[in-house]
Amino acid sequence: MTSATKDRIVIFDTTLRDGEQSPGATMSFEEKLEIADLLDAMGVDVIEAGFPIASDGDFEAVHAIAKRLKTSIVAGLARAIPADIDRAAEAVRVARRGRIHTFVSTSPIHLAHQMRKTEDQVIEIIAATVERARNLIDDVEWSAMDATRTPIDYLCRCVETAIRAGATTINLPDTVGYATPDEYQAMFRAVRERVPNADKAVFSAHCHDDLGLAVANSLAGLAGGARQIECTINGLGERAGNAALEEIVMALKTRGDSLPWECGIDTRMLMRASKLVSAASSFPVQFNKAIVGRNAFAHESGIHQDGMLKNQQTYEIMTPESVGVQKTSLVMGKHSGRAAFKDKLRQLGYEFGDNQIEDAFVRFKALADRKKHIYDEDIEALVDDGIAQSDRLKVRALTVIAGTMGPQSATLTLDVAGHHQTVQATGNGPVDATFNAIKAIVPHDAKLLLYQVHAVTEGTDAQAEVSVRLEDAATGRQVTGRSADPDTLVASAKAYVAAVGRIQQMAASKRLHAQHSDQVKVDEQV
């Protein structure tokens, strides 16, 4: 089938909303902006940036993303409540193209137990809330929460009401991941055939993966007439997650012979997006995850390797390059020069100025002195580490005594705004001792929410990539610090220091903001 005869699908990414809603996946403001920029550059049509009424932090993130997106539409979620809708409109109004996405439950079980409303009352709510949204913005999406467990006659009444009130997109989610592909396809077909004004809206699929059917159901939705798919990077999302964007996009691209739809995603950016979301959410990607897992293009068995050497197509249905995996993973050693390093950074998708390249190159050389083989993953970890480190706090030296004789102790020298401070602390294990030493130099009452380690490559000399998430006691805001180093304890110390540095930065900018407001008040009085 040629491109000209294929229908163009709208890709709606909800990593920053449904994805971020999954327990423990909270992302910082800066991480959300970075992800939104990447999704925008990748060709995502609609980015659901958050739930503006949920918190000031959510509002600020949606608002900031709305201001910066170059091509994508930004969507803000709203319950069927006037205050939610007004807040979402306020957040997306600054965008070149904004959308309000409002939803209400329609299934009998939700109406009886969650909403405590009758079917007729919900119909009235749909009419009033969609109309309110449409009076604020031209692009309004309405979702029937738990659509797949809603009797079809009532679902049709709801959809007809929403379209009459001005909805331009109708989303029919499989909220609890219950549907089978045949059922999901039939639901779209029935609604589109029975609802008289169905041709006035774009239909959308939104599937959860409780039975592992989210991607299959999303594609079945297209077969039933949906032309928008809602999905997330790495399938991040509530419970078992949402349909994975990378799987949907690569299924469309690889099986264009039997799936007659296309989308505008630059698939070569999928791997980078996966890594960024994994790092920001601190959710590791399983090794055998389709498309973006570490083993997705690895061939271990002799028969497979033999076939691959003769012809790549024997065991590969898509090329690693098409999803942004570089073919040669083993890249450099200590004899590699600046030009090759610069070229490698460009290949990996980093656009740096000369100073940043020089800084990364110095750290690359130091790593090459300690580690024989440097892989692409090592370079990515090293560069990301540089971006994440705080300017004010730096780990200068760390010596840890560990082993069976306990208590374990850490002697740490930190550079605090240019001054070196050294302490020794003990703890229940070497990591605890190291964190206690940091606390002794930089006292704080942030709560440790997550400490996670994973090896960047294989082998016992692999770099350890560590994520540390802290919750600021004063504001409740969460920050994540990350670092990579061949020494797990050094990486842990640097990740913890990066997180503490972020909390200090947040507090400092809050103080500055407060001083500025006080000054404005004084100026006004004068």
Stretch that binds Zn ion, among 12-20, 31-39, 112-120, 190-198 (CB under 5 A): 12-20
Size of the site for ligand KIV (CB under 6 A): 9
Residue nearest to Zn ion (CB): 18
Which of 283, 375 has the CB closer to ligand KIV? 283
Tokens of 324: 């942004």
Q: How far is the CB of 295 from Zn ion (least distance, A)?
A: 28
Q: How far is the CB of 273 from ligand KIV (least distance, A)?
A: 20
C-beta of residue 216 within 8 angstroms of C-beta of residue 195: no
Helix axes 376-388, 354-370, angle to 10 degrees: 120
Q: Give the closest residue to 82 by CA, choosing from 133, 123, 119.
A: 133
Q: Give the closest residue to 91 by CA, choosing from 33, 50, 139.
A: 50
Which of 20, 378 has the CB closer to ligand KIV? 20
Site for ligand KIV in 459-498 (CB under 6 A): none
Q: 143 is in the binding site of which of Zn ion, ligand KIV, none (Cβ under 5 to 8 A by kind)?
A: ligand KIV
Site for Zn ion in 16-75 (CB under 5 A): 18
- Long-range contacts, stretch 18-21, CB < 8 angstroms, 24+ apart: 18/48, 18/230, 18/232, 18/236, 18/237, 18/238, 18/242, 19/232, 19/233, 19/236, 19/237, 19/241, 19/242, 19/277, 19/281, 20/50, 20/236, 20/281, 21/237, 21/238
Helix or strand or coil: residue 400? strand
Q: How far is the CB of 219 from ligand KIV (least distance, A)?
A: 18
Q: How far is the CB of 170 from Zn ion (least distance, A)?
A: 15
Which of 247, 472 has the CB closer to ligand KIV? 247
Q: How far is the CB of 120 from ligand KIV (least distance, A)?
A: 22
Tokens of 203: 């239909």
Residue 276 binds to ligand KIV (criterion: CB under 6 A): no
Which of 18, 40 has the CB closer to Zn ion? 18
Q: How far is the CB of 502 from Zn ion (least distance, A)?
A: 29
Q: How far is the CB of 125 from Zn ion (least distance, A)?
A: 20
Q: How far is the CB of 241 from ligand KIV (least distance, A)?
A: 11
Which of 87, 371 has the CB closer to ligand KIV? 87
Q: How far is the CB of 206 from ligand KIV (least distance, A)?
A: 5
Site for Zn ion in 141-200 (CB under 5 A): none
Which of 189, 239 has the CB closer to ligand KIV? 239
Exposure class string for 151-172: b at 16+ Cβ within 10 A, else e: eeebbbbbbbbbbbbbbbbbbb
Distance CA 174, CA 148 (A): 5
- The residue within the footprint of ligand KIV, chosen from 15, 148, 161, 175 (CB under 6 A), is 175
Backbone angles phi, psi at 468, to 5 degrees: -130, 125
Residues contacting residue 252 through CB under 8 Å, at least 6 positions apart: 9, 259, 261, 262, 263
Residue 18 binds to ligand KIV (criterion: CB under 6 A): yes
Which of 179, 442 has the CB closer to ligand KIV? 179
Which of 101, 482 has the CB closer to ligand KIV? 101
Residues contacting residue 307 through CB under 8 Å, at least 6 positions apart: 314, 315
The angle at the Cα of 287, spanning 285 to 290, to the nearest 5 degrees, equals 80
- The residue within the footprint of ligand KIV, chosen from 206, 272, 289, 394 (CB under 6 A), is 206
Distance CA 420, CA 180 (A): 61
Q: How far is the CB of 483 from Zn ion (least distance, A)?
A: 33
Helix axes 338-347, 354-370, angle to 10 degrees: 110
Q: How far is the CB of 65 from ligand KIV (least distance, A)?
A: 18
Q: 149 is in the binding site of which of Zn ion, ligand KIV, none (Cβ under 5 to 8 A by kind)?
A: none
Site for ligand KIV in 134-173 (CB under 6 A): 143, 145, 171, 173
C-beta of residue 477 within 8 angstroms of C-beta of residue 471: yes
Site for ligand KIV in 327-356 (CB under 6 A): none
Helix or strand or coil: residue 454? strand
Residue 103 binds to ligand KIV (criterion: CB under 6 A): yes
Which of 176, 285 has the CB closer to ligand KIV? 176
Tokens of 279: 């790092």
Give the CA dihedral 201, 140, 31, 476, nearest 10 degrees: -140
Which of 143, 434 has the CB closer to ligand KIV? 143
Q: 145 is in the binding site of which of Zn ion, ligand KIV, none (Cβ under 5 to 8 A by kind)?
A: ligand KIV
Distance CA 149, CA 142 (A): 17
Q: 103 is in the binding site of which of Zn ion, ligand KIV, none (Cβ under 5 to 8 A by kind)?
A: ligand KIV
Binding map of ligand KIV across residues 54-93, x = CB under 6 A, - = no contact: ----------------------------------------
Place of tokens 């440790």: 448
Distance CA 266, CA 249 (A): 9
Pairing of strands 374-375, 330-332: antiparallel
Which of 23, 302 has the CB closer to Zn ion? 23
Distance CA 324, CA 348 (A): 9
Q: How far is the CB of 81 from ligand KIV (least distance, A)?
A: 13
Q: Give the closest residue to 347 by CA, choosing from 383, 371, 317.
A: 383
Which of 126, 145 has the CB closer to ligand KIV? 145
| Helix or strand holding residue 430 (H, E) | helix 430-441
The residues that touch Zn ion, with contacts defined as CB under 5 A, are: 18
The residues that touch ligand KIV, with contacts defined as CB under 6 A, are: 18, 103, 143, 145, 171, 173, 175, 206, 208
